[in-house]
Amino acid sequence: MPPKFFQIGFNKCGTTFIARLFDLNRIPAAHWLEGALADDIAFAKLSGTRPLARWADSITAFTDMESVRFLNMPVIEAFKDYALLDAHYPGSVFLLNTRRVEDWIASRYLHRGGAYARSIAAAMGVPLGALGDIWAADWDAHLAGVRAHFAGRAEFIDIDIDHATPDDYQTALSPWYDLPHLPPLPGQGVRRARQANLPRVLRMMDEPLPGADQDPDRRAQLAAKLARLAAPARLRQKGSIDRPPHAQALCLDLGADQLRGADGAVMPLRRGPDGLFHLAAQRPGLLRAAAVANDIAGVTGHGCYWLDLRPATFAGSDPDNPADGPLIATLRRRGARNVFLWPAPWRHRIGNDGFPGVPVADPDWSDRADRLVWRGTLSGHAPASADTAEALITALEHRADGPARALLPRTGRWPVLADLAARPGLDIALTPDARRDRVLAQAGLTAPAPVRDDAPAARYRLALSGSEGDADALPLLNSHALVLIEQDGWEGFLSTLFRPEVHFLPLQPGCADLDLRLAWARAHQDQARQIAQRARRLCARLADPAGRRLHLAQVLADYRRATGQD
């Protein structure tokens, strides 16, 4: 058996090339795994267990061991834990991959269209322009630490990717691995494109700290309004904080630094020295709960909070779906009892590229095509059922001929998309999803709309009902487009902040009045443009970390009062 291999340089330094080198030569490699490698190493440190144990018997090479979730989870650069890996896997080969540091910084700024840098800046609470110096100092410290730790070790390889050829990798690794097949390096076209993007980097570095221009009084007023909107329509407590509101609820106990199930079982969540909760990599289904736990812990240091972090919950909406005590959720039915609203973690984090207020380069109204565009995924509930489209797709994945096959075409978006996609003059398409498309094909189902990834700049954008709530509409409201939103009886934390006819045009369920609404917008271009502009201005006020903290602190204070904790 060849020794383990660990790439321990930073991301954006040819990590994909290194992973492909092993893949091409049929040497089992794990590259990034959407952050799972880094999450596993970090959790192992906190729990005193062996890192990467779940892959140790099947994987030889590990590359890009980093996790940046674009929501409130720790930024983990687990490649820096080379000493831990060295102790658990003696005799392993370690490769430090480097490049010209200025080019690396620029590449990091541009990674994922700027979302990577914005997320890290938000996590650190610094302006984007400060990251360059922070990253440069981090680079120097890491390289010095690695070289000191592995000094004189034959199993340590130091490669500058700016000058190394594929043959150089092959030669350096030849004592341990047979690598006859070599992937090509990025061509000159890719390198020229990187240089052409430098003006974008400079513009990002000039962006001010979010919220720096907000008036303190207006900030406090908006935070208070958001907290009022988050309060339940009806608040009636039947039990105490020691009793779960329902069987699916989770309890975040900041006194014990624990997340527990309704049955008292402790979830695999550990709090690190940075104050953030880390989640075990094998439990991705708890990622929503972990992110909200970090949201709450970042605002307060005490209290117990019952959470229902399903994408959407019927809790408190009728006798069949009780909420026997106050709880916190990200999407509730209108009028639900005992349910406080919290921002959904997938979008509503300052620094996340989908959050309102993020600078966008979309063309202004006059430069947009006179058309309506929708891009999205299958979503929503089946009629008279708590089954979501996402859950039914998972069920179909395990049994292609099961009951889910009949239910999925009846979920919220499916029939609406099938109708809209057939209408001329509308640009309606599902975003690509390899898993979904494979599952539908196996079940013999035809998607209700074509699949395309492009979303041309258009004057009108559509937000359909589903189980994401505000998450779909917010990026659209932050654009220069007029947004038409299908009304569905669900409430997110911004649902009543953005008002119909003022910030968007409402649509009847099923989009029955879409043609009439579009006709009005085309006949009243000035009013339509003003609605889009008002929505964008309100989004800019939401991209304020201090205001968001005020808002969330008030929601938690109201919750503690409702549960007798204050």
Phi then psi for 358, rounded to 5 degrees? Answer: -65, 130
Rounded mean pLDDT of the chain?
Answer: 92
Q: Please state the rounded mean pLDDT for residues 116-120.
A: 88
Q: Please give the residue that has the higher pLDDT: either 349 or 128.
A: 128
Q: Please give the residue that has the higher pLDDT: either 479 or 5.
A: 5
Query: What is the predicted pLDDT for the residue at 295?
Result: 94
Q: Domain-by-domain residue ranges, the chain?
A: 5-205, 216-347+547-562, 365-543
Residue pair 141/379 in contact (Cβ under 8 Å)? The answer is no
Residue pair 330/311 in contact (Cβ under 8 Å)? The answer is yes
Residue 353 has pLDDT above 90, yes or no: no
Domain spanning 365-543 has what CATH number? 3.40.50
Residue 239 has pLDDT above 60, yes or no: no
The total of other beta-carbon atoms located within 10 Å of residue 125's CB is 10
Residue 358 has pLDDT above 90, yes or no: no
Chain position carrying tokens 């309100």: 538
> Topology of domain 5-205, per CATH?
Rossmann fold (3.40.50)
Residue pair 473/463 in contact (Cβ under 8 Å)? The answer is yes
Residue pair 275/297 in contact (Cβ under 8 Å)? The answer is yes
Q: Please give the residue that has the higher pLDDT: either 383 or 273.
A: 273
Q: Quickly list DSSP for 304-348.
A: EEEEE-SSS--TTSBTTB---S-EEES-EETT-BSEEE---TTT-
Torsion of CA 551, 557, 562, 566, to 10 degrees: -170
The total of other beta-carbon atoms located within 10 Å of residue 392's CB is 26
Q: Please state the rounded mean pLDDT for residues 478-503.
A: 92
Q: Which of 102-116, 136-150, 247-261, 316-330 has the lowest mean pLDDT?
A: 102-116
Query: What is the predicted pLDDT for the residue at 189?
Result: 62
Q: Please state the rounded mean pLDDT for residues 206-233.
A: 93
Report the distance separating Cα 59 and Cα 407, nearest Å.
39
Nearby residues of 242 by Cβ (< 8 Å), 6 or more positions away = none
Query: What is the predicted pLDDT for the residue at 202?
Result: 85
When pLDDT is cut at 50, 70 and 90, the band that residue 237 belongs to is low
Residue 187 has pLDDT above 70, yes or no: no
Task: Supply 477's token pair.
Answer: 């409201």
Report the distance separating Cα 226 and Cα 558, nearest Å.
12
Find, among 84, 106, 85, the residue nearest to 13 by Cα: 106
Task: Supply 392's token pair.
Answer: 């039914």
Report the distance separating Cα 313 and Cα 311, nearest Å.
7
Task: Supply 336's token pair.
Answer: 């639900």
Query: What is the predicted pLDDT for the residue at 430?
Result: 97
Residue 286 has pLDDT above 70, yes or no: yes
Q: For the chain, give the percent of residues with pLDDT over 70.
A: 96
Domains 5-205 and 365-543 share a fold: yes
434-481 tens-digit pLDDT = 999 999 999 999 999 999 988 889 999 999 988 777 778 888 998 889
Q: For the chain, give the percent of residues with pLDDT over 90.
A: 75
When pLDDT is cut at 50, 70 and 90, the band that residue 193 belongs to is low
Distances (CA, A) of 331 to 244, 317, 475, 490: 19, 12, 17, 7
Give me the amino acid identity at 374: W
Residue pair 328/313 in contact (Cβ under 8 Å)? The answer is no
Query: What is the predicted pLDDT for the residue at 188?
Result: 62
Q: Name the DSSP class of 350.
A: B
When pLDDT is cut at 50, 70 and 90, the band that residue 312 belongs to is confident
The total of other beta-carbon atoms located within 10 Å of residue 81's CB is 21
Sheet containing 93-98, strands listed edge to edge, beginning at the edge strand earlier in sequence: 29-31, 61-63, 5-7, 93-98, 156-160
| Element spanning 264, H or E | none
Give me the amino acid identity at 476: L
